[in-house]
Amino acid sequence: MSVEGIDVAEFSGNIDWEKVKSQGIYFAFARVNDGIAHPDKLFTNYWPAIKKAGIIRGAYFFFRPTKDINQQVRFFAQGLEIEPGDLPPVIDIEPASSWDELNLTQRLDHVAESLNAVETATGYKPIIYTAPNFWQEKLGNTKRFADYDLWIAHFDTDTPTIPGGWELHTFHQYRENQTGFPGISGDVDRNRFNGALDRLQALSVPAVPLLEGRIGPKVKKLQQALKKVAQDSSHPEFDPGSPDGIFGQGTKKAVIAYQQANSLTANGIVAPEDKLAIA
Protein backbone atom coordinates (compact mmCIF):
# COMPACT_ATOMS: atom_id res chain seq x y z
CA MET A 1 0.00 0.00 0.00
CA SER A 2 1.32 3.42 -0.93
CA VAL A 3 1.28 5.82 2.04
CA GLU A 4 0.34 9.11 0.41
CA GLY A 5 0.68 12.59 1.87
CA ILE A 6 0.75 16.25 0.98
CA ASP A 7 2.50 19.42 2.05
CA VAL A 8 0.75 22.76 2.15
CA ALA A 9 1.33 26.45 2.68
CA GLU A 10 -0.79 29.56 2.26
CA PHE A 11 -0.76 29.09 -1.53
CA SER A 12 -2.90 25.99 -0.94
CA GLY A 13 -5.83 28.18 0.08
CA ASN A 14 -8.92 26.83 1.79
CA ILE A 15 -8.80 23.11 2.56
CA ASP A 16 -11.55 20.64 3.41
CA TRP A 17 -9.40 18.21 5.38
CA GLU A 18 -12.11 15.54 5.64
CA LYS A 19 -12.35 15.47 1.85
CA VAL A 20 -8.56 15.37 1.60
CA LYS A 21 -8.46 12.38 3.93
CA SER A 22 -11.10 10.63 1.84
CA GLN A 23 -8.65 10.73 -1.10
CA GLY A 24 -6.30 8.38 0.74
CA ILE A 25 -4.06 11.03 2.32
CA TYR A 26 -2.46 9.77 5.54
CA PHE A 27 -0.09 12.61 6.43
CA ALA A 28 0.33 16.33 5.81
CA PHE A 29 3.11 18.83 6.43
CA ALA A 30 2.24 22.52 6.87
CA ARG A 31 4.58 25.50 6.61
CA VAL A 32 4.97 27.67 9.71
CA ASN A 33 7.26 30.39 8.39
CA ASP A 34 9.66 31.49 5.68
CA GLY A 35 12.76 32.85 7.43
CA ILE A 36 12.09 35.62 9.94
CA ALA A 37 9.97 37.94 7.81
CA HIS A 38 7.06 35.80 6.68
CA PRO A 39 4.72 33.79 8.92
CA ASP A 40 2.50 31.52 6.88
CA LYS A 41 -0.94 33.13 6.90
CA LEU A 42 -2.87 29.85 7.08
CA PHE A 43 -0.77 27.71 9.40
CA THR A 44 -2.87 28.43 12.47
CA ASN A 45 -5.94 27.24 10.52
CA TYR A 46 -4.30 24.17 9.05
CA TRP A 47 -2.54 22.81 12.15
CA PRO A 48 -5.56 21.94 14.35
CA ALA A 49 -7.70 20.99 11.35
CA ILE A 50 -5.22 18.36 10.13
CA LYS A 51 -5.31 16.61 13.49
CA LYS A 52 -9.09 16.89 13.78
CA ALA A 53 -9.45 15.11 10.44
CA GLY A 54 -7.31 12.21 11.70
CA ILE A 55 -4.38 12.92 9.39
CA ILE A 56 -0.87 12.59 10.81
CA ARG A 57 0.62 16.08 10.80
CA GLY A 58 4.04 17.67 10.65
CA ALA A 59 5.37 21.23 10.41
CA TYR A 60 8.25 22.83 8.52
CA PHE A 61 9.95 26.15 7.94
CA PHE A 62 11.84 27.51 4.94
CA PHE A 63 15.43 28.13 6.02
CA ARG A 64 17.15 31.36 4.98
CA PRO A 65 20.88 30.74 5.50
CA THR A 66 22.01 34.35 5.92
CA LYS A 67 19.25 35.37 8.33
CA ASP A 68 19.57 35.06 12.10
CA ILE A 69 19.20 31.33 12.78
CA ASN A 70 17.97 31.64 16.34
CA GLN A 71 15.31 34.12 15.27
CA GLN A 72 14.12 31.78 12.52
CA VAL A 73 13.90 28.84 14.90
CA ARG A 74 12.20 30.93 17.60
CA PHE A 75 9.69 32.11 14.99
CA PHE A 76 9.09 28.48 14.02
CA ALA A 77 8.79 27.01 17.50
CA GLN A 78 7.02 29.72 19.48
CA GLY A 79 3.59 29.11 17.98
CA LEU A 80 4.01 25.41 17.22
CA GLU A 81 2.61 22.91 19.71
CA ILE A 82 4.01 19.53 18.68
CA GLU A 83 2.02 16.80 20.38
CA PRO A 84 2.54 13.04 20.73
CA GLY A 85 1.53 11.41 17.46
CA ASP A 86 2.79 14.29 15.31
CA LEU A 87 5.77 13.95 12.97
CA PRO A 88 9.18 15.45 13.81
CA PRO A 89 9.79 19.05 12.74
CA VAL A 90 11.27 19.74 9.31
CA ILE A 91 13.86 22.23 8.04
CA ASP A 92 13.32 23.08 4.37
CA ILE A 93 16.82 23.45 2.91
CA GLU A 94 16.54 24.37 -0.76
CA PRO A 95 17.60 26.94 -3.37
CA ALA A 96 17.68 30.60 -2.39
CA SER A 97 19.97 33.28 -3.77
CA SER A 98 21.47 33.95 -0.35
CA TRP A 99 23.35 30.62 -0.39
CA ASP A 100 25.74 32.25 -2.85
CA GLU A 101 26.76 34.78 -0.18
CA LEU A 102 28.40 31.98 1.81
CA ASN A 103 31.30 29.66 1.13
CA LEU A 104 30.86 25.90 1.48
CA THR A 105 32.14 25.72 5.05
CA GLN A 106 29.77 28.49 6.12
CA ARG A 107 26.85 26.84 4.39
CA LEU A 108 27.44 23.54 6.16
CA ASP A 109 27.97 25.20 9.51
CA HIS A 110 24.75 27.19 9.13
CA VAL A 111 22.83 24.02 8.33
CA ALA A 112 24.33 22.31 11.39
CA GLU A 113 23.48 25.28 13.59
CA SER A 114 19.88 25.31 12.41
CA LEU A 115 19.43 21.59 12.98
CA ASN A 116 20.85 21.84 16.49
CA ALA A 117 18.72 24.90 17.26
CA VAL A 118 15.50 23.14 16.20
CA GLU A 119 16.32 20.08 18.28
CA THR A 120 17.06 22.24 21.33
CA ALA A 121 13.89 24.30 20.89
CA THR A 122 11.49 21.42 20.24
CA GLY A 123 13.16 18.40 21.83
CA TYR A 124 12.97 16.49 18.54
CA LYS A 125 15.63 15.67 15.96
CA PRO A 126 14.43 17.37 12.77
CA ILE A 127 13.93 15.97 9.30
CA ILE A 128 15.85 17.52 6.41
CA TYR A 129 13.92 18.48 3.26
CA THR A 130 16.09 19.08 0.22
CA ALA A 131 16.59 18.33 -3.48
CA PRO A 132 19.41 16.24 -4.95
CA ASN A 133 20.83 18.83 -7.37
CA PHE A 134 20.84 21.55 -4.72
CA TRP A 135 22.50 19.30 -2.14
CA GLN A 136 25.18 18.27 -4.61
CA GLU A 137 25.87 21.71 -6.04
CA LYS A 138 25.49 24.05 -3.06
CA LEU A 139 26.36 21.77 -0.15
CA GLY A 140 29.13 19.79 -1.81
CA ASN A 141 27.12 16.56 -1.59
CA THR A 142 28.20 16.45 2.05
CA LYS A 143 27.62 13.29 4.09
CA ARG A 144 27.77 15.26 7.33
CA PHE A 145 24.01 15.06 7.96
CA ALA A 146 23.28 11.53 6.76
CA ASP A 147 22.06 10.48 10.22
CA TYR A 148 18.99 12.73 9.84
CA ASP A 149 15.80 11.48 8.20
CA LEU A 150 15.59 12.70 4.60
CA TRP A 151 12.61 14.17 2.78
CA ILE A 152 13.74 14.34 -0.83
CA ALA A 153 12.19 16.51 -3.54
CA HIS A 154 12.59 14.82 -6.92
CA PHE A 155 9.64 15.22 -9.23
CA ASP A 156 8.00 12.92 -11.77
CA THR A 157 9.87 9.78 -10.76
CA ASP A 158 9.22 6.84 -8.48
CA THR A 159 12.94 6.37 -7.79
CA PRO A 160 14.37 9.63 -6.46
CA THR A 161 18.09 10.36 -6.55
CA ILE A 162 19.48 10.17 -3.02
CA PRO A 163 22.45 12.49 -2.34
CA GLY A 164 24.71 13.14 0.62
CA GLY A 165 25.53 9.67 1.87
CA TRP A 166 21.94 8.80 2.79
CA GLU A 167 21.18 5.15 2.17
CA LEU A 168 17.45 5.75 1.77
CA HIS A 169 14.84 8.47 1.97
CA THR A 170 11.99 8.75 4.47
CA PHE A 171 9.65 10.93 2.43
CA HIS A 172 9.57 11.62 -1.32
CA GLN A 173 7.99 14.76 -2.74
CA TYR A 174 7.20 13.51 -6.23
CA ARG A 175 4.94 16.24 -7.59
CA GLU A 176 4.73 19.99 -6.98
CA ASN A 177 2.04 22.61 -7.39
CA GLN A 178 -0.77 20.25 -8.32
CA THR A 179 -4.08 22.00 -8.88
CA GLY A 180 -7.55 20.55 -8.67
CA PHE A 181 -6.90 18.15 -5.78
CA PRO A 182 -10.27 17.37 -4.16
CA GLY A 183 -10.84 19.56 -1.11
CA ILE A 184 -7.98 21.99 -1.84
CA SER A 185 -8.72 25.32 -3.52
CA GLY A 186 -5.10 26.15 -4.39
CA ASP A 187 -1.89 24.31 -5.19
CA VAL A 188 -0.57 21.31 -3.27
CA ASP A 189 2.58 19.19 -3.34
CA ARG A 190 2.29 15.40 -3.34
CA ASN A 191 4.42 13.06 -1.26
CA ARG A 192 4.91 9.41 -0.38
CA PHE A 193 6.27 7.84 2.77
CA ASN A 194 8.95 5.22 2.15
CA GLY A 195 7.38 2.40 4.14
CA ALA A 196 4.15 1.01 5.47
CA LEU A 197 1.63 2.91 7.56
CA ASP A 198 2.74 1.31 10.82
CA ARG A 199 6.29 2.56 10.18
CA LEU A 200 4.98 6.07 9.56
CA GLN A 201 3.08 5.89 12.84
CA ALA A 202 6.25 4.70 14.57
CA LEU A 203 8.05 7.82 13.30
CA SER A 204 5.66 10.04 15.25
CA VAL A 205 7.01 11.73 18.35
CA PRO A 206 6.46 11.10 22.07
CA ALA A 207 6.12 13.77 24.74
CA VAL A 208 9.44 15.27 25.85
CA PRO A 209 10.51 17.10 29.03
CA LEU A 210 10.57 20.87 29.25
CA LEU A 211 14.01 22.26 30.04
CA GLU A 212 16.23 25.22 29.32
CA GLY A 213 16.29 26.02 25.61
CA ARG A 214 12.80 24.75 24.82
CA ILE A 215 10.47 27.12 23.00
CA GLY A 216 6.75 26.90 22.36
CA PRO A 217 3.19 26.91 23.69
CA LYS A 218 3.94 24.21 26.27
CA VAL A 219 6.64 26.41 27.77
CA LYS A 220 4.23 29.34 27.87
CA LYS A 221 1.65 27.20 29.69
CA LEU A 222 4.33 26.15 32.18
CA GLN A 223 5.26 29.79 32.77
CA GLN A 224 1.62 30.72 33.29
CA ALA A 225 1.17 27.84 35.75
CA LEU A 226 4.25 28.94 37.73
CA LYS A 227 3.05 32.53 37.79
CA LYS A 228 -0.35 31.45 39.10
CA VAL A 229 1.23 29.31 41.84
CA ALA A 230 3.43 32.27 42.79
CA GLN A 231 0.40 34.55 43.00
CA ASP A 232 -1.65 32.04 45.01
CA SER A 233 1.11 31.30 47.52
CA SER A 234 3.77 33.07 49.51
CA HIS A 235 6.45 32.07 47.01
CA PRO A 236 7.23 34.97 44.66
CA GLU A 237 10.36 33.06 43.65
CA PHE A 238 8.12 30.75 41.59
CA ASP A 239 7.32 33.62 39.20
CA PRO A 240 9.31 33.16 35.95
CA GLY A 241 8.52 36.63 34.63
CA SER A 242 6.58 37.41 31.47
CA PRO A 243 5.17 34.22 29.84
CA ASP A 244 6.92 34.36 26.47
CA GLY A 245 7.18 30.66 25.61
CA ILE A 246 10.97 30.66 25.92
CA PHE A 247 12.53 28.47 28.62
CA GLY A 248 15.41 30.67 29.71
CA GLN A 249 17.31 31.28 32.92
CA GLY A 250 14.36 32.97 34.62
CA THR A 251 12.06 30.02 33.99
CA LYS A 252 14.71 27.52 35.05
CA LYS A 253 15.28 29.43 38.29
CA ALA A 254 11.54 29.47 39.00
CA VAL A 255 11.21 25.74 38.28
CA ILE A 256 14.11 24.90 40.60
CA ALA A 257 12.59 27.05 43.35
CA TYR A 258 9.27 25.23 42.93
CA GLN A 259 10.99 21.85 42.98
CA GLN A 260 12.98 22.69 46.12
CA ALA A 261 9.86 23.91 47.94
CA ASN A 262 8.04 20.69 47.09
CA SER A 263 10.91 18.32 47.94
CA LEU A 264 11.38 17.34 44.31
CA THR A 265 14.58 16.76 42.38
CA ALA A 266 15.75 20.33 41.82
CA ASN A 267 17.15 20.00 38.30
CA GLY A 268 15.08 22.58 36.43
CA ILE A 269 13.55 19.89 34.19
CA VAL A 270 9.79 19.41 33.99
CA ALA A 271 8.67 15.92 32.98
CA PRO A 272 5.71 15.60 30.57
CA GLU A 273 3.55 14.08 33.30
CA ASP A 274 4.36 16.81 35.84
CA LYS A 275 1.29 18.75 36.93
CA LEU A 276 3.02 22.00 35.99
CA ALA A 277 3.44 20.77 32.41
CA ILE A 278 -0.18 19.70 32.06
CA ALA A 279 -1.78 22.55 34.00
Among all residues, which ones are annotated catalytic?
A: 7, 92, 94
User: Do the beta carbons of residue 153 and residue 173 sit within 8 Å?
Assistant: yes
User: Do the beta carbons of residue 276 and residue 221 sit within 8 Å?
Assistant: no
CA–CA separation, 81 and 215 (whole Å)? 10
As a whole number of Å, the end-to-end CA separation of the chain is 41
Q: What b/e sequence results for 129-166 when a residue is b if at least 16 CB atoms lie within 10 Å of its CB, and e otherwise? A: bbbbebbeebbeebeebeebbbbbbbeeeeebebbbeb
Classify burial at 27, counting beta carbons within 10 Å of its beta carbon; exposed 0-12, middle 13-18, buried 19 or more: buried
CA–CA separation, 2 and 115 (whole Å)? 29
Reported as half-sphere exposure (CB side, CA atoms, 13 A), residue 36 has a value of: 10
* Closest by CA position to 194, among listed 141, 152, 134: 152
Reported residue count of the chain is 279
Beta-ladder partners of 172:
152, 192
Give the dihedral of Cα atoms 208, 212, 217, 220; nearest 10 deg.
Answer: 130
Q: Is 156 left (phi over 0), alpha (psi -120 to 50) or beta?
A: left
